[in-house]
Structure 1
Amino acid sequence: MVITVALKALAIWVGILLLAVANGALRESLLVPGLGTPAALVLSGLLLSALIIGVAYLSLPWLQISHAPQLCAVGLGWLALTLVFEFSFGLWQGKSWPELLEAYTFRGGNVWPLVLAATTLAPYIAAKLRGQG
């Protein structure tokens, strides 16, 4: 059961990753030119947070979990996967640690820490929205 939930949670996270990449493309191609960087970052972060919670809401029946510890474990797993991906990809691109950590400062409209909080809490929020948990 635990392995099945973990594999399903991983598959869902890959879907979230694809949505995040599409969100970034939307931000850079439409939102930044139209709204400017600070507003685009805020709007993009809020959109991505909503998408993540929406994915959690839609996938919760497939995951077949409803207890708070399980929901929190999935959320923490998604957070860990996101951080590993974010830092690994950034380092692979040649970014320095100070550049990578800049996303966590809330400067210039960056709300990345809120997206990470939404990612972590998404399964629990989704369960609450479904009347579970």
Structure 2
Amino acid sequence: MEKMMLTAIGIKALIIWSGILVLAIANGMLRESFLIPALGAPAALVLSGLLLSAVILGVTYTSLPWLQVTSPAGLFAVGLGWLALTLVFEFSFGRWQGKSWPELLEAYTFKDGNLWPVVLVVIVFAPFLAAKLRGLV
């Protein structure tokens, strides 16, 4: 029974992360198509990072009752799982596009206002923060 429950939570967490991924891609398209031309790269990167962080928190807050995880350890496990999925996706997709490792790692330096490292921290803590906001922990 316990194994079935963990599997169901894992599937739900993957579905939620997939939704976040779709919204993150849309955020990147918005940034590249509109924000950078309108605001310049540094301001667009900051705004895009803040927007994506808010989206992650919003999706997590909304989906948390469906996920049915309330223990701090379980919430952090979900966040760490999302982080792992995100990193695997980012590096795999970047390498598939032909980007070099230095190019990929540049996103982790805060260069020109890039908030990607902050977004990754938000991904890890979003389930716990959402549960706190809902009064579940």
Give the TM-score taking structure 2 as reference length.
Answer: 0.96
* Matches of 1:92 and 1:21, distance apart in 2: 16
Matched, 1:30 2:29: no
Structure 1 outlier segments of 4+, above 4 Å: none
In 2, Cα distance between equivalents of 1:42 and 1:124? 24
- For 1:54-69, what aligned pairs fall within 5 Å after superposition? 54-69=58-73
Task: Tell me what 2:85 maps to.
Answer: 81
Find 2:110's aligned residue among 89, 106, 109: 106
The alpha carbon displacement at 1:12 in A equals 0.3
Alignment identity in percent? 70
The residue type paired with residue 49 of structure 2 is G
Q: CA deviation at 1:29?
A: 1.0
Give the counterpart letter for 2:56 in structure 1: I
The amino acid across from 2:45 in the alignment is L
What is the RMSD of the two structures over their aligned residues, measured on CA atoms?
A: 0.4
Match of 2:8, as an amino acid? Answer: T
Q: Can you list the C-alpha shifts for 1:6-48, whole angstroms capped at 9, x where unaligned?
A: 0000000000000000000111111101100000000000000
Gaps of 5+ in 1: none
| CA–CA separation in structure 2 for the residues paired with 1:103 and 1:65 | 31
Superposition deviation, residue 132 in structure 1: 1.3
